[in-house]
C-alpha cells in the first residue's frame, strides 16, 4: 500500500488502494472512494475536535456515504477520547414543508447537544434537505453539511449551515437504490427497505473496504504528521 502526504490543507487526493485480497464488487462503489476521501479530508479537523454528536444521513442515495462516515467518525472519536455519536436517517425531499413537524419531532427525540452533521450524496442546490435545515435553524441547532459530490451552487446560499464540505469529484452513487437498500416515497419522512438484499450486502462489504482504506490513510497521515513535528528545526 502506498500513500503520499502533506500539510492538512494539501493532503493527497489519490484514492487509497485496498487491502490485498479485498475487492470492491460494484463499480458505483469503487467510484465513491475518491470523492469520499476528498470530502472526509475537508471535515477531518472537526472530527478530531469531536464537534458533532449526531449525524443525519439523507436517504436514499446518501445512506451509503452516511454509513461510511459513521464508522470513520466513531473510529476517530475513539482514538481522540470523544464519546461516540448517533447516526439517524431522514428522507430527502423537495417541497417538503408538510414533513417539517415530523422532522422536528424526530430531532427533539434524538436530542443533539453539539453540532449536527448532515451527510448527503449531492449538494448542488440543497433543495432536498431544506426542510431539515429549516427545522434545525428553528430549533437553534448548529449544523454542517458534508456532500460527497459538489460543489454547492447558489441554491445552498441561505441554507443556514455553518459550513458546507464537499468533493469536486464525480460520484455515481446517486439513484443507486439497489445498493443503498432503501427507497423513499414522496411525502414520507423515512425511507423503506428495498428487496434486492444480495446487492445491498455486497454494497455494505464494499463500504467496509472504503472505510478500511480511509482509516489506513488517516493512520498513515497521523504517523507522518507526528514524525514531522518531532524533527528538530534546522
Beta strands in the chain, from DSSP E residues, in sequence order: 52-59, 86-91, 115-122, 143-149, 163-166, 182-183, 192-193
Q: What confidence tens digit (pLDDT) does each residue in 19-40 have?
A: 555 789 999 899 899 999 999 9
Query: Which triple of cell numbers denotes residue 152?
Result: 454547492
* Share in percent of the chain as helix, strand, coil (round to 5): 45, 15, 35
Query: Which triple of cell numbers denotes residue 159?
Result: 441554507
For the chain, the residue count is 234
| CATH of the domain spanning 26-219, picked from 3.40.50.300, 3.40.50.2020, 3.50.50.60, 2.160.20.60 | 3.40.50.2020
Beta bridge partners of 49: none
Q: What confidence tens digit (pLDDT) does each residue in 77-114 have?
A: 999 999 999 999 998 876 555 567 789 999 999 999 99
- Residues 165, 119, 87, CA angle at the centre, nearest 5°? 135
Enter the pTM of the model: 0.84
Q: Would you list the domain boundaries of the chain?
A: 26-219
Amino acid at each position: 500500500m502506498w500513500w503520499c502526504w502533506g500539510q492538512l490543507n494539501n493532503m493527497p487526493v489519490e484514492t487509497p488502494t485496498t487491502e490485498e485480497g479485498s475487492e470492491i464488487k460494484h463499480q458505483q462503489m469503487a467510484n465513491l472512494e475518491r470523492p469520499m476521501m476528498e470530502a472526509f479530508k475537508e471535515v477531518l479537523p472537526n472530527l478530531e475536535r469531536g464537534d458533532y454528536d449526531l449525524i443525519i444521513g439523507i436517504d436514499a442515495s446518501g445512506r451509503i456515504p452516511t454509513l461510511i462516515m459513521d464508522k470513520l467518525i466513531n473510529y476517530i472519536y475513539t482514538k481522540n477520547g470523544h464519546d461516540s455519536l448517533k447516526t439517524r436517517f431522514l428522507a430527502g425531499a423537495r417541497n417538503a414543508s408538510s414533513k417539517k413537524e415530523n422532522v422536528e419531532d424526530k430531532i427533539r427525540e434524538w436530542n443533539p447537544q453539539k453540532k449536527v452533521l448532515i451527510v448527503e450524496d449531492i449538494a448542488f442546490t440543497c433543495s432536498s434537505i431544506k426542510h431539515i435545515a429549516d427545522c434545525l435553524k428553528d430549533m437553534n441547532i448548529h449544523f454542517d453539511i458534508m456532500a460527497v459530490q459538489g460543489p454547492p451552487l447558489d441554491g445552498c446560499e441561505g441554507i443556514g449551515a455553518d459550513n458546507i464540505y464537499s468533493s469536486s469529484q464525480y460520484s455515481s452513487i446517486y439513484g443507486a437504490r439497489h445498493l443503498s437498500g432503501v427507497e423513499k416515497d414522496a411525502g414520507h419522512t423515512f425511507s423503506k427497505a428495498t428487496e434486492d438484499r444480495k446487492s445491498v450486502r455486497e454494497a455494505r462489504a464494499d463500504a467496509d473496504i472504503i472505510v478500511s482504506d480511509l482509516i489506513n490513510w488517516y493512520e498513515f497521515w497521523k504517523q507522518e504528521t507526528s514524525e514531522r513535528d518531532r524533527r528538530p528545526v534546522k
